[in-house]
């Protein structure tokens, strides 16, 4: 019973750490990467689909993303979708290739992005603590129902705390890496 609880708790903590990793990847630094356009949606014959489903997204160089729609009429729609997304990008089309240059970040913008990153990390820490609380509550309930002994409950809580410490340290490492990346000019 405690082993199953630890397994599900660890899986939930792993998902939280993974979600933070993907959220932090969306925060734009001065460098280009194709994952930046993953959440940009394009109107494709009446339905909204990600850019990657209507175009080939590649890196032209370290500061430019190339987007090549598979159908000629989609060039204008893809360009408009990239311009209208919340990333502050200014795409320019050259024939059937859309070039998306990454603008340089100002010092002020870097500091704002660091605040955003810290806030995202804090939300992930809160999620971790909630997972820990839920696991501890389940163990207390099992103890109350006499499904486990007090020693098992204490050991289980210690194990859950160790898992929490491990994953919060991982979150802190992700935060430190992203801050370093943002401050690199």
Digit-coded pLDDT (tens) for 134-157 = 999 999 999 899 888 899 999 999
Give the pLDDT confidence of 22-42 residue by residue, as tens digits: 888 877 666 777 777 877 889
Where do the domains of the chain lie, and which CATH numbers do they carry? 2-26+106-183 (1.10.132.20), 36-101 (3.30.1360.40)
Phi, psi (rounded to 5 degrees) for 114: -65, -40
* Per-residue model confidence (pLDDT) at position 159: 93
pLDDT tens track for 53-85 = 889 999 888 788 999 999 888 888 888 888 888
Q: CA-to-CA distance for 114 and 180, rounded, in angstroms?
A: 10
Sheet holding 55-61, edge to edge: 55-61, 64-69, 97-101, 92-94
């Amino acid at each position: 019973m405690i082993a199953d609880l630890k397994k599900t708790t660890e899986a939930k903590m792993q998902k939280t750490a993974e979600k933070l990793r993907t959220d932090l990847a969306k925060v734009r630094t001065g460098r280009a990467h194709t994952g930046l356009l993953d959440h940009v949606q394009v109107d494709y014959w009446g339905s909204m689909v990600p850019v990657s489903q209507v175009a080939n997204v590649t890196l032209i160089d370290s500061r430019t993303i190339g987007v090549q729609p598979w159908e000629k009429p989609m060039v204008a729609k893809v360009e408009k979708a990239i311009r209208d997304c919340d990333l502050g990008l200014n795409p320019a089309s050259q024939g059937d290739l859309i070039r998306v240059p990454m603008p340089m970040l100002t010092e002020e913008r870097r500091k704002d992005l660091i605040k955003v990153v810290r806030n995202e990390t804090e939300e992930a820490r809160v999620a971790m603590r909630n997972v820990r609380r839920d696991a501890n509550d389940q163990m207390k309930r099992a103890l109350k129902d006499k499904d486990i002994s007090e020693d098992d409950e204490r050991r289980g809580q210690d194990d859950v705390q160790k898992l929490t410490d491990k994953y919060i340290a991982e979150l802190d490492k992700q935060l430190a890496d992203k801050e370093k990346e943002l401050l690199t000019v």
